[in-house]
Structure 1
């Protein structure tokens, strides 16, 4: 005998109610994990989950307020290995627990009491929510792990003391093979950073400098008390000499240590830390960022010298790949060392100003991998947070520069006292302790120093260590 219409309607409404109840329980779990258990399940589990959720919201609110008051706080957390480890474990645990709460909410919804179409819909919705939430948390845990692994490239320890109120960081750039870290660096720059204000002075040193003296008392000073001179001996060859005489050094990085003592002798600054940038890794980094846009002032050869040139980067605003950016920074064909120094600054400045948070997050894995392949340093991991705060203070301040190039400096026979005075004056001006010098009209300079790939025959070049002129 067929069921009465009223009975059918009642059953239909009951089925709809059960279906909506099942969906509601999953919605509760999405918004407030544990709330479904408080309403219709294991209340003890529900109370624990809700308390953890409320504590998480409180921590997020606290962090949000701190970020509004101190933007460098986020950088400090991102550079703290302990925080990253705790965050990773929390996210993994949260992903598993939240997924379990979704499954339990599905159980509480009594899926076997639902009609087949409703049952399928509930399973589908629960699966989407479960995998979406857990997947997001696990991806966050993965990013935390990648960031923490990236930090392992830094040395153990905390931030050391500043010298005369400043941190002096030596930035070295050059090519390397499988075991050629630090050999013949192509570029050398000292970033002198005020330990309080973050005001920075960039000191550029040409690789073809000769007859300079080393820091007093250093190994290299003992070997070359009258200066590093002679046929084929240039600043970028100090590293090679040291690598050929490793028995003189009590270090795993004799080439870099020797170069540091040379830079200290030339600038009269004590170097706190050094950073070696592998240019091949730099190519990967640019690609990870999606390229870099530069205003190319003149045609730049690509591929090598003479017959090895395979193409050109044409003038105009160009978005360069990692390969092109590398050649823009290093090309020697038709250029002098000072032009290359300026172009290298162009690329680094462009990267710093063009990278967006979205790009950094989207390509985080590639950027971290490229950075690890690109950089070797003795900067301690414990100093990263302090340097991040200094960077935040310095970001809106103008970076001062001084370049030890002709015509101010004779690279073949430099006046060391004059160079020391130039560096001191630049730092004093950056600190507001000395008047700015009157702008002098640039004029051609006779380049008397030379290097591998550059000329040493009285070639006359313009002083082009000027970012504005190069890009």
Structure 2
């Protein structure tokens, strides 16, 4: 009976349902075997699709219906495994097994049951949470084709505060990605650029044909690039009546038109990241590691003048509060230093957001993520972009900072020269002839 017990336990693990076919309720056993074989085939097909057609795999599992189907399948199999294992314990007849073997058999069977059913249950929970997260962040809309072989995304770091009339972008850049190779170029746009032009057909461009605030000033306290968001959002939202229906806002739409005027690129999508919410996301991931290049102060208040203490040069592990101050600190520094630190923080966050870390802390990450990101990227494009991002990670990221060291004077910028600088950075590298 002890040998029989061990055989039944091993069979239940190796081929769930076979125990019932051999020694119990055959109808239940046939059902369990069918479910096991179906699940194994489904898993094999899923792995094959992931290996051979990763974009299709990612499209399915970044889709609400695909995630719900996965959640239901995992929950169903978890319940089936639980029933089969409990029935196996009944068929084992522990009281007739050897006294020394009984605790081991019972503990092993229970541990495997908890491991498999628990994993399936957690997988179902993650799938449902991911579905809710993706639906809350990404819009349901048509996909956009690449333009001139590239996808151009406006990345905004929002910095709201009690001393401001609404949110004002604190960090602005355009990420241009080759739609075939995944090669990415980041164009950092100083927030204090003046006389900013707008793309053709822009609503604000009609008010400022010579550039933002170039003739008679503007309707905000500072006629610079990041003030465009505030003016459109707070003072001239009526110029963008369809923005909300498109998953955007008047301030974002106006900023996109200005970024297109500066760079000469057509921007298909935007991503707005709330810098304050970034703190919660960093905490959810367990903090980030940053190599501090120069002394950076942590302030005591929003005036950015009183210093509480300094980050000294070297490797630093920061929680969300300190990482946010590292990115936003203004005492004894310049906007260009802050741009570099914000880029450094973004790169550190991406490094920390590895699959294992995200999965183990998924609930906190998803909760923070809903508060951090606003975008008009359609959910149907996620599979393609995740696959493209995998290519991007294997390549060095080009940087085009529009700073004085590159010949850009923010108070009197030469926008024609800026476009030449960007075109040169985005020009494809010629293939050497044999």
CA–CA separation in structure 1 for the residues paired with 2:328 and 2:371:
19
SS of alignment partner, residue 154 of structure 2: strand
**CA deviations over 1:135-172 (Å, ceiling 9, x no partner):** 22111111111221221110003421222221110000
- Structure 2 vs 1, CA of residues 377 and 306 (structure 1 numbering), >3 Å: closer, same or farther? closer
Indicate yes or no: 2:138 matched with 1:154: yes
2:429 counterpart residue number: 432
SS of alignment partner, residue 310 of structure 2: strand
1:390 counterpart residue number: 388
SS of alignment partner, residue 148 of structure 1: helix
2:206 counterpart residue number: 222
- Structure 2 vs 1, CA of residues 353 and 136 (structure 1 numbering), >3 Å: closer, same or farther? closer
Indicate yes or no: 2:326 matched with 1:336: no
Gaps of 5+ in 2: none
2:11 counterpart residue number: 28
1:357 counterpart residue number: 355
**CA deviations over 1:277-333 (Å, ceiling 9, x no partner):** 011121122222222222211110112546532221111111122211111111111
Contact conserved, 1:182 with 1:256, CA < 8 A, in 2? no
Structure ID, larger Rg:
1
1:9 counterpart residue number: none
1:273 counterpart residue number: 269
SS of alignment partner, residue 277 of structure 1: strand
Indicate yes or no: 2:229 matched with 1:232: no
**CA deviations over 1:377-426 (Å, ceiling 9, x no partner):** 00000001111111122222221111222251221222222222221111
Deviates more, 1:110-119 or 1:186-195: 110-119
Could you state the TM-score of these two structures normalised by the residue count of structure 2? 0.87
Gaps of 5+ in 1: 1-16, 436-471
- Paired residues, number: 415
Indicate yes or no: 2:239 matched with 1:248: yes
CA–CA separation in structure 1 for the residues paired with 2:88 and 2:165:
56
Deviates more, 1:234-243 or 1:70-79: 70-79
Cα offset for 1:238?
Answer: 0.6
- Structure 2 vs 1, CA of residues 266 and 433 (structure 1 numbering), >3 Å: closer, same or farther? farther
RMSD value, Cα = 2.7
Indicate yes or no: 2:169 matched with 1:185: yes
- Structure 2 vs 1, CA of residues 336 and 83 (structure 1 numbering), >3 Å: closer, same or farther? same
Could you state the TM-score of these two structures normalised by the residue count of structure 1? 0.81
Contact conserved, 1:182 with 1:255, CA < 8 A, in 2? no
CA–CA separation in structure 1 for the residues paired with 2:329 and 2:61:
36
- Structure 2 vs 1, CA of residues 286 and 306 (structure 1 numbering), >3 Å: closer, same or farther? closer
2:313 counterpart residue number: 315
**CA deviations over 1:215-263 (Å, ceiling 9, x no partner):** 1211111221221123621111111101222222212211111111111
Deviates more, 1:43-52 or 1:319-328: 43-52
The one of 204, 227, 242 aligned to 2:188: 204
**CA deviations over 1:81-115 (Å, ceiling 9, x no partner):** 32211110011111111111122223333567779
SS of alignment partner, residue 164 of structure 1: coil
